[in-house]
Amino acid sequence: MGIASIVTGVLGLICCPGLFSVAAIITGYLAKKDGNPENAKLGKIGLILGIVGLVLAILWGILAATGVIDTSFSASAG
């Protein structure tokens, strides 16, 4: 679970912040709850990555909703 937490945490930072970040938080919590100390350390890292990814996703959503970030992907020639 610790390795899965780190992998989903990194994917949450790189590709799909909302979905993978939530998965990293859940698997990180489960890994910390496990009795293995090495697994708990990996779970803590994944948990932190998941929280950072989720905060960035929420921040991006707020900025896009308020119009600070332009989300139109139309190309203009000219």
Residue of 30, 70, 64, 60 lying closest to 47 (CA atoms): 30
How confident is the prediction for the chain on average, in pLDDT?
88
Report the pLDDT value the prediction gives residue 76, as an integer from 0 to 100: 63
Residue 28 contacts residue 46 (beta carbons within 8 Å):
yes
Q: What is the pLDDT of residues 29-56, one digit of tens each?
A: 999 888 788 888 999 999 999 999 999 9
